[in-house]
């Protein structure tokens, strides 16, 4: 991996030990007891692939998108849905993929999850026709990139009351509006976009459309998000974009249903990325503090260093168990008829996303302080991970919104018991 600009001041012997192979080895010690034999085989193959094929090509001076085709070669753009000849898929595999990819490059994983899961999952779930299959082929190869457009300048957490408008005519639709914070936006070839035909009835009139960059009237302008310089996040403007009807993924009203059921997959995938960031920084700190000496002994021999690290590991082990549980439960959301599980999973995935993304930020911040100055340089991956963790906490819904969904779920139980 190429460093950014700074000089290397990391002790040679520590640098030698602080490689990704060792980080994966320690990670596997914690993860393998939690997963099946098949999942273990998948994880080990994936780690080998990332170490040999992807990591040598990571250049922190370049956007992450050049690495997408490499992930595509290994069928690692996503593992939530079945695609091609792959037989190991599902949310638990997706979480393993997100964890391992975040360990080698958290920015790469952020952009991958948006294209491979958050953009592509609606196509897998609701898209029909050869053109959808062709687009999925392009996205899964990593040659093309997808983005999702929900958030608007005036409507963030209050996403339902969106202003983006859709007019439906006999043979086509017309899309007008501005979306903001579109991850991958300025690089994207395709967008999944939500808009409404009646602003006073967004639930009943929301559409979910697939938009091809080639359609006339699309403009993307990059936003200056300083924490993730290798990922392009944009303002996306749709100026009277004429959309053929076969590009409707969710028709009037169904768009709302698809938006909310899709958010569970989105949150679960982000949980995987947040856990990956947490394991990366926790293990880095564990190795470093065992090797770095001050006052004649390793930092880890001071309880003021080892106890906080141990506490973070304890919390991380619990969050990882919860993340796998949330992934196992995901399949229960796939049948819309099963409303009881849909509601339960909306709350469960929100609570777990709240915990995991907050923990990633906290572990990265705390381990940076515990390792000292070196963790602020690009000689270690902690500072980069901390920046991405901040984004993970807001993307997919700010933390209050996750808590809001959990609180609504809890209230529902009380209501059902008529207390």
Ligand X SMILES: Cc1cc2nc3c(=O)[nH]c(=O)nc-3n(C[C@H](O)[C@H](O)[C@H](O)COP(=O)(O)OP(=O)(O)OC[C@H]3O[C@@H](n4cnc5c(N)ncnc54)[C@H](O)[C@@H]3O)c2cc1C
| Residues in touch with ligand X (CB under 6 A) | 114, 148-151, 156-157, 181-183, 225, 233, 391, 394-395, 397-398, 400-401, 404
Listed in sequence order, the residues at least 6 apart from 32 whose beta carbon sits closer than 8 Å to its beta carbon are: 40, 43
Residue number closest to ligand X, CB atom: 156
In the block, which residue shows the tokens 């086509």? 172
CB of 53 to ligand X, least distance (A): 27
Closest distance of CB 163 from ligand X, Å:
13
Decide whether 23 or 188 has the Cβ nearer to ligand X.
Answer: 188
Rounded to a whole number of angstroms, the minimum distance from the CB of residue 177 to ligand X is: 12
Two tokens, residue 249: 């993924």
Handedness of CA 98, 101, 106, 107 (dihedral sign): negative
Contact 388, 228 (CB under 8 A): yes
CB of 383 to ligand X, least distance (A): 17
Which residues, 6 or more positions from 410, have their beta carbon under 8 angstroms from its beta carbon? 347
Considering the complex, state which of residue 256 and residue 288 has its C-beta at the smaller distance from ligand X. Answer: 256
What lies within 8 Å, CB to CB, of 241 at 6+ separation is: 174, 175, 176, 211, 215, 216, 217, 218
- Minimal distance, residue 234 CB to ligand X, in Å: 9
Contact 138, 189 (CB under 8 A): yes
CB of 164 vs ligand X, minimal distance in Å: 11
Residue among 126 and 187 whose Cβ is closer to ligand X: 187
Shortest Cβ 243–ligand X spacing (Å): 18
Give which of 74, 222, 72 is closest to 145, Cα–Cα: 72
For the residues of 8-39, what is the DSSP string, one character each?
A: P-S-HHHHHHSSHHHHHHHHHHHHGGGS-HHH
Give dist(CA 98, CA 77) in Å, integer: 10
At closest approach, how far in Å is the CB of 33 from ligand X? 34
> Is the Cβ of residue 275 or residue 391 nearer to ligand X in the bound state?
391
HEC-encoded secondary structure of 214-258? CCCCEEEEECCCCCCCCCCEEEEEEEEEEEEHHHEEECCCHHHHH
Q: Which residues 6+ apart lie within 8 Å of 191 measured at CB?
A: 119, 146, 147, 148, 149, 182, 185, 210, 211, 213, 218, 236
| CB nearer ligand X, residue 243 or residue 395 | 395
Give the integer Cα–Cα distance in Å for 352 and 187.
30
- 282 neighbors 312 (Cβ within 8 angstroms): yes
Residue closer to ligand X, measured from CB, 151 or 278: 151
Specify the residue, 50 or 401, whose C-beta has the smaller distance to ligand X.
401
- Which of 150, 206 has the CB closer to ligand X? 150
* Least gap, CB of 184 to ligand X (angstroms): 7
DSSP state of 75: T
The CA-based diameter of the chain, rounded to the nearest angstrom, is 79
Distance CA 386, CA 362 (A): 8
Q: Which is nearer to ligand X, 225 or 334 (CB)?
A: 225
233/249 with CB nearer ligand X: 233
- Tell the smallest beta-carbon distance from residue 204 to ligand X (Å): 21
């Amino acid at each position: 991996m190429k460093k950014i600009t700074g000089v290397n001041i990391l002790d040679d012997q520590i640098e030698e030990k602080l490689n990704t192979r060792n980080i994966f080895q320690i990670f596997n010690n914690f993860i393998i007891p939690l997963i099946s034999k098949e999942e273990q085989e998948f994880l080990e193959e994936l780690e080998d692939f990332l170490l040999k094929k992807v990591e040598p090509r990571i250049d922190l001076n370049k956007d992450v998108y050049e690495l997408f085709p490499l992930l595509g070669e290994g069928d690692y753009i996503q593992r939530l849905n079945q695609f091609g000849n792959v037989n190991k898929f599902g949310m638990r595999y997706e979480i393993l993929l997100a964890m391992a990819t975040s360990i080698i490059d958290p920015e790469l994983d952020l952009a991958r999850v948006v294209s491979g899961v958050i953009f592509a999952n609606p196509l897998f779930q609701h898209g029909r026709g050869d053109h959808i299959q062709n687009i999925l082929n392009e996205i899964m190869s990593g040659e093309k990139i997808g983005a999702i457009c929900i958030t608007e300048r005036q409507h963030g957490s209050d996403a339902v009351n969106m202003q983006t408008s859709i007019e439906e005519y006999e043979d086509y639709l017309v899309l007008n509006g501005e979306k903001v914070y579109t991850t991958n936006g300025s690089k994207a070839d395709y967008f999944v976009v939500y808009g409404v035909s009646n602003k006073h009835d967004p639930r009943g009139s929301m559409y979910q459309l697939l938009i091809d960059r080639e359609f006339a009237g699309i403009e993307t302008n990059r936003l200056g998000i300083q924490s993730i310089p290798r990922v392009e996040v944009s303002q996306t403007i749709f100026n009277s974009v004429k959309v053929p009807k076969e590009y409707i993924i969710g028709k009037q009203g169904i768009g709302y249903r698809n938006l909310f059921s899709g958010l569970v997959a989105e949150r679960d995938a982000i949980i995987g990325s947040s856990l990956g960031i947490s394991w990366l920084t926790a293990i880095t700190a564990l190795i470093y503090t065992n090797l770095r000496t001050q006052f004649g002994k390793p930092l880890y021999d001071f309880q003021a260093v080892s106890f906080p690290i141990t506490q973070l590991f304890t919390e991380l082990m619990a969050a990882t168990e919860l993340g796998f549980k949330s992934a196992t439960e995901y399949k229960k959301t796939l049948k819309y008829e099963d409303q009881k599980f849909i509601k339960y999973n909306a709350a469960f995935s929100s609570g777990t996303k709240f915990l995991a993304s907050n923990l990633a930020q906290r572990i990265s911040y705390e381990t940076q302080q515990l390792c000292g100055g070196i963790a602020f340089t690009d000689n270690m991956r902690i500072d980069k991970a901390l920046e991405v963790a901040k984004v993970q906490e807001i993307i997919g819904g700010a933390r209050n919104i996750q808590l809001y969904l959990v609180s609504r779920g809890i209230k529902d139980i009380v209501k059902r018991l008529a207390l």
